[in-house]
Amino acid sequence: MKSELKYHIWTEGCQMNVADSRRVSSALERLGYRGTPRPEEADVIVLNTCVVRQSAENKAVGRLFSLKPLKKRNPGLVINLMGCLVGVKGHDKLRQRFPFVDVFSPPSDPGPLIAHLTQEEVRSLETESTQRRFALMDGDLLLPEAERGKLVSAFIPVVYGCSHACTYCIIPYKRGVERSRPAEEILTEARALVRQGVKEITLLGQIVDRYGKDIPDGPKLWDLLHRLHEEVEGLERIRFLTSHPNWMTDELLDAVAELPRVMPHIEVPIQAGNDEVLKNMRREYTAEDYRRLIGKIRARIPGASIATDIIVGFPGESAAQFQDTYDLLAELELDVAHLARYSPRPGTVSARRMPDDVTEEEKWRRFRLLEELQEGIAAEINARYQGEQVEVLFEDKVKGRWRGRTPTNKLVFVESEADLRGQILPVTITWTGPWSMQGALPLAKPQGGIPVPFHNA
């Protein structure tokens, strides 16, 4: 019997997948496994996959086939395929296509793997006691050894799945309808994370501002923010993503404006700036609705930073319709725009009914136009921080410089000999660019009258 069993997790895709992989690591480490960055050393390999675009799906399949020789060399190796490539609607076809895979797990569900490793019936894992034993869903999350005491900022899923039906989106097919987690469980998880050194949490949902809508008389997102703010000691910062324009209520904006530890940063996708395209995407709002919402956010939370998502080259999008998106982005001057080229996803309404008639070349042309526009806007917005002092929560060190974020989610780098991990420090901004900034720490109190750099204090 091997002295030490090891696991390796490969994670692709969104923050939700990062949080899900952390949950799998936690359950495996409770079973006594230790993490390894090298798949060839592992006894269990988990591939946590994404299929939001064809390129992501191709990458997952490529990674899966690269494991086949490992399985041949070590038949005892357990391979677990997880995430959106598996989805919630069964995996018979996948089992035929990948016979060397031992366990197929839906997104956010470590249960089937734990059942396989413990020879327990999956069904038994649904019992409260077994969940508690493997700490699968009760919020008492044990961070993976490699992150314990090091992780400063963590994600907490609060709503799984999505009940909207945007015509281009594969998520409802893969992650199922929306299911909000009980508030107590979320609070337990936040406390467990803070106990292990985490200072900031980001609440996750495909439409996070619909939290609690599926629970009769359930708490809403703003209630959850209040409870986390008031009941989790040691939690310094709270963020949430991703919101949908139609569910950003006054109560939610009030909570962000009034609760000092809720960060003034809003992620709310627009996807397109033309009403016809928005209608074909079935986003259920107009460009004018979105413009009004941005005005409301800026009025209620002055200085808030706002990030959006845009898809270019949606079926039927004409040059004039694209121009509407371009003009709206230029007008709104948002802090961040995550851009994507339309990628037809199997099974979605748009893939079934709308020809993908914008050429790849034209999609790239539109993508680059928006990228260039947004780079200019971001550079201008960040330039306003030059010489300003901002509060930065430091997360880790990258290439010898400490990296952290401002309350408005701006990336800041600082040089210091001191260990800044998990500290919130005032930083004076000395350089700004479109994607990040650089700053300096204040000089510490003079020793013997001579001001000394912070780290020698």
Q: Which residues here bind ligand SF4, judged by CB under 6 A?
A: 162, 164-166, 169, 171-172, 206-207, 244
To ligand SF4, the closest distance from the beta carbon of 52 in angstroms equals: 9
To ligand SF4, the closest distance from the beta carbon of 309 in angstroms equals: 8
Instruction: Tell me whether residue 169 or residue 427 sits nearer to ligand SF4 (CB atom).
Output: 169
Residue 236 main-chain phi, psi, to 5 deg? -90, -35
To ligand SF4, the closest distance from the beta carbon of 357 in angstroms equals: 21
To ligand SF4, the closest distance from the beta carbon of 387 in angstroms equals: 39
Instruction: Tell me whether residue 210 or residue 220 sits nearer to ligand SF4 (CB atom).
Output: 210
Instruction: Tell me whether residue 164 or residue 191 sits nearer to ligand SF4 (CB atom).
Output: 164
Q: Residues with Cβ < 8 Å from 123, sequence gap 6 or more?
A: none
To ligand SF4, the closest distance from the beta carbon of 275 in angstroms equals: 17
To ligand SF4, the closest distance from the beta carbon of 324 in angstroms equals: 20
Secondary structure in 3-state letters for the chain = CCCCCEEEEEECCCHHHHHHHHHHHHHHHHCCCEECCCHHHCCEEEEEECCCCHHHHHHHHHHHHCCHHHHHHCCCCEEEEEECCCCCCCCHHHHHHCCCCCEEECCCCCHHHHHHHHCCCCHHHHCHHHHHHHCCCCCCCCCCCCCCCCCCEEEEECEECCCCCCCCCCHHHHHCCCEECCHHHHHHHHHHHHHCCCCEEEEECCCHHHCCCCCCCCCCHHHHHHHHHHHCCCCCEEEEECCCHHHCCHHHHHHHHHCCCECCEEECCCECCCHHHHHHHCCCCCHHHHHHHHHHHHHHCCCCEEEEEEEECCCCCCHHHHHHHHHHHHHHCCCEEEEEECCCCCCCHHHHHCCCCCCHHHHHHHHHHHHHHHHHHHHHHHHCCCCCEEEEEEEEEECCEEEEECCCCCEEEECCCCCCCCCEEEEEEEEECCCCEEEECCCEEEECCEEECHHHC
Instruction: Tell me whether residue 166 or residue 329 sits nearer to ligand SF4 (CB atom).
Output: 166
* 169/359 Cα distance (integer angstroms): 20
Instruction: Tell me whether residue 22 or residue 244 sits nearer to ligand SF4 (CB atom).
Output: 244
To ligand SF4, the closest distance from the beta carbon of 132 in angstroms equals: 31
Instruction: Tell me whether residue 44 or residue 208 sits nearer to ligand SF4 (CB atom).
Output: 208
To ligand SF4, the closest distance from the beta carbon of 103 in angstroms equals: 26
Instruction: Tell me whether residue 160 or residue 322 sits nearer to ligand SF4 (CB atom).
Output: 160
To ligand SF4, the closest distance from the beta carbon of 174 in angstroms equals: 10
Take residue 404 and report the two structure tokens written for it: 């952290």
Instruction: Tell me whether residue 169 or residue 307 sits nearer to ligand SF4 (CB atom).
Output: 169
Instruction: Tell me whether residue 20 or residue 29 sits nearer to ligand SF4 (CB atom).
Output: 20
